[in-house]
Chain A
Amino acid sequence: MLFNSIPFLIFAPLFFITYFLLRGQARLIFVAGASYFFYAWWDWRFCGLLLLSSVVDFWIGHFLARPDMADRRRKMWLMLSLAVNLGMLGIFKYFDFFAQSFTAVLNAVGIEATPLLLNVVLPVGISFYTFQTLSYSIDLYRRTITEPETNFIRFAAYVALFPQLVAGPIVRAAALLPQLREDHGVDWARIGRGIELIAWGFFLKLCLADTASLVVDPRYAKPEFYNALSHLIGSFAFSFQIYGDFAGYSLIAIGLGAIMGLDFGINFNRPYFATSFGDFWTRWHISLSRWIRDYIYISLGGNRGGELRTFRNLCITMFLGGLWHGAGWNFVVWGLLHGFYQVLQRIFGPPFWRIVGFLRLPRMLSLGILMLTVFLLTTFAWIFFRADNFDQAWTIIGIIARGEGWTLGAGEQMIAIAKMTVFAAIVIVVDALGLHQRARQYYLDRLPLRIAGLAALGWLIALGGTFSGASFIYFQF
């Protein structure tokens, strides 16, 4: 069920009315049941995987939490949890990719082989909920969580919670399970804030992302039909599309959670205002960034052990981060590019600031240069992320690099480009205002302003939203 669909418009109010009428275990049973219903709307067969992941980690959790168990045995139980969850991911998401890649290598060295493919459909949200349940097991193993969850229904509700089930935020058990133990009543202030977040999320999705997709999609469908200028516009458009799409989804999820009385944290914090790549990853898909930082980067040794080891760890972490996003070499290249950017930043960051000091450049100008550099390089990396395959990305980069044509002809989605530019400008201004604590507080403290803001979002969505029923990009991961 998509948030931007009519079934969800019916589902959501019914859910919340019932949610606030129930208490305790009945409410948990309802939340879990409604979340499975929400998930089954796509394909009921994959509810089994969701249940399997929940049962396995709930059961393993009890062994991992036992204080009297030897570390070696606890590690075995953790390995079992990893095997089940990563095994599910491996079969459904990566098997065909690795089989094809392996066959390609064999063919390249002269060994004739045809790949054995499973051709299975990727279950929606599998990358998100497996990471969510894994965090529970790993935290128990590391003793970050000391008490295992004893109520299976609560644990099932935590894993399947519909607002963030299919595309995050990845909320860890330590943060969410305690909140599910409370019986949240109707809190109008929270509900109001939730509605504001949902409205801004829908604006980002329907106005910015889906309008930008009208510019992006034709260019990636037939890259050879478009010239350099057209592809540059398409590349910038995708930067805004992916931001609007994913930040929009996250805000809707966080807003729905807020109405329920749950705090999912924030998942995006004005990422295109980042002044370094390290900064970018503390602002973009924050819940995943923290996950891979805590469970992969730090496990590899983090920045302990010298510069070269840190560079290696960054590249491995970003490589895995890229692979998490999709089973394709273009995602691997995207992840590695970000790893490489972070390495470059560590090498060239200190000399840059020495030059700034030497030239006595104003701090704002220096930060502006860095912000622009991060945005441009991120936009370049997004080409690999958006492309259907590596060759397509290379075709587009080739057209831009060779400078093939700098005029826009008829039929180049001029109206969509104009609309997207207006919406992107609105988003940049609102994000910039949000950077200033005083401006944000001024807005939050004035009810008439908030009512006007919410109404203005409603008008903009009605007048400029793209109602194509487009899915969210991150659903494919």
Chain B
Amino acid sequence: MKRTSLIVIALLVVLVLGDRLAGAVLSTMVMKSANRFAALYNDAGPVDVLVLGNSRADLHFSPKMIRDQAGQSARNLGLGGISTVLAEALLLDHLDAYGPPKVLIIEPSNIITDPGKVGDMRLFATWSDRIGQLVRADTPEFYWAGRLSSLFNYNTDMFVRVLNDLRARPAERLTRAAMPANLLADLRAAPPEQRERLVIRDENLLALDRILKLARDQGINAHVVMTPYLPEFFRGHPDAAHWKSAITARATATGTPVHDLTGLIDDPALFRDRHHLNRAGAVQLVHALQHRGVLAGGE
């Protein structure tokens, strides 16, 4: 019995010490990464233009393109699956660390994203109490597992991306490929009622309200930019009108300018899929925003 107790104690000591030690090493690696989200929690510095949203924000607003075209430093905090609620947490973390940007671009299509879902951003719960609280509400078992095991906090795809960004500056996220012809043909053939629904989540609308009010109170030049959808998907979509009016109502209530650019681009060759522009499309979008004076900080 004494021997067994010693074995159990030895196992627990090795398990816990190894976990903490490896966790500390991985934490250092995250902080050394050039990944944009890791940089947010590691003295990335203030920027002129901050972008919030989901993958449509991520793939439509290249910081390099904004810098080249408008001469403004930019940071894109958009990522696939980020809800407006999570975007709000990222904005608050950014404001705490670096103060208000001159321009805030909000791509609002994430109002349909599950507001409780933290997903891959769970990696940053160690550095952000706000994200930690969202994890706790969304998946309490993951939150407590993360408290129990340091290594568990790094068990996300985001950590693999962070590791990838250790080697070099993150690669350009825009792609040159156009949407495959067969998928486009399928989309054209499908009746509007079969398209993916755009169901708005109330928690996201409330978060959008808070973001817009916060921007107004802090004197940030905020813009709500509804970026282009593939016309074959969005034109005639049963939810499009409601989706637009819900966003517009929230923005106008706080006096925030709304840019409806959903129909800006007609050419399918400028899209990589129904939701996302490719590089050539993103260039046109940034041109349009530049033309409207959004990137200079004026309407």
A interface list, Cβ under 8 A from B: 6, 188, 192, 409-410, 415-416, 418-419, 447, 451-452, 454-456, 458-459, 462-465, 467
- B7: chain A residues at CB < 8 Å are 192, 447, 451
Task: Say whether B155 contacts A463, CB under 8 Å.
Answer: yes
Task: Say whether A409 contacts B152, CB under 8 Å.
Answer: no
B114 at the interface (CB under 8 A from A): no
B interface list, Cβ under 8 A from A: 1, 3-4, 7, 10-11, 14-15, 18-19, 22, 141-142, 145, 149, 151-152, 154-155, 157, 160-161, 175, 177
Q: List 18 A-B contacts (CB under 8 A).
A: A6-B141, A188-B1, A188-B4, A415-B157, A416-B157, A418-B160, A451-B14, A455-B18, A458-B19, A459-B15, A459-B151, A462-B19, A462-B152, A462-B155, A463-B151, A464-B155, A465-B155, A467-B142
Given known contacts A188-B1, A467-B145, what 11 new A-B pairs fall within 8 Å (CB)?
A: A410-B175, A454-B15, A455-B14, A458-B19, A459-B151, A462-B149, A462-B155, A463-B151, A463-B155, A464-B155, A467-B155
Which of A415, A455, A465 makes the CB contact (< 8 A) with B11? A455
Q: What's the minimum C-beta distance from B78 to chain A, rounded to whole angstroms? A: 16
- CB closest residue in chain B, given A452: B14
Q: What's the minimum C-beta distance from B58 to chain A, rounded to whole angstroms? A: 12
- A410: chain B residues at CB < 8 Å are 175, 177
- A451: chain B residues at CB < 8 Å are 7, 10-11, 14
- A418: chain B residues at CB < 8 Å are 160
- B175: chain A residues at CB < 8 Å are 410
- A192: chain B residues at CB < 8 Å are 4, 7
Q: How far is it, in angstroms, between the C-alpha of A325 and the C-alpha of B15 when the chains are bound? A: 39
Q: How far is it, in angstroms, between the C-alpha of A464 and the C-alpha of B157 when the chains are bound? A: 10
- CB closest residue in chain B, given A411: B273
Q: How far is it, in angstroms, between the C-alpha of A458 and the C-alpha of B12 when the chains are bound? A: 10
Q: How far is it, in angstroms, between the C-alpha of A462 and the C-alpha of B150 when the chains are bound? A: 8
Q: What's the minimum C-beta distance from A133 to chain B, rounded to whole angstroms? A: 37
A-B CB proximity, top 4 nearest: A462-B151, A462-B149, A463-B151, A455-B14
Q: How far is it, in angstroms, between the C-alpha of A419 and the C-alpha of B161 when the chains are bound? A: 12
- B18: chain A residues at CB < 8 Å are 455-456, 459
Q: How far is it, in angstroms, between the C-alpha of A462 and the C-alpha of B10 when the chains are bound? A: 19
Q: What's the minimum C-beta distance from B22 to chain A, rounded to whole angstroms? A: 6
Assess A455 versus B4: contact at CB under 8 Å? Given A463-B152, A465-B155. no
Q: How far is it, in angstroms, between the C-alpha of A410 and the C-alpha of B272 when the chains are bound? A: 11
- B14: chain A residues at CB < 8 Å are 451-452, 455
- B160: chain A residues at CB < 8 Å are 415, 418-419
- A415: chain B residues at CB < 8 Å are 157, 160-161
Q: How far is it, in angstroms, between the C-alpha of A458 and the C-alpha of B10 when the chains are bound? A: 14
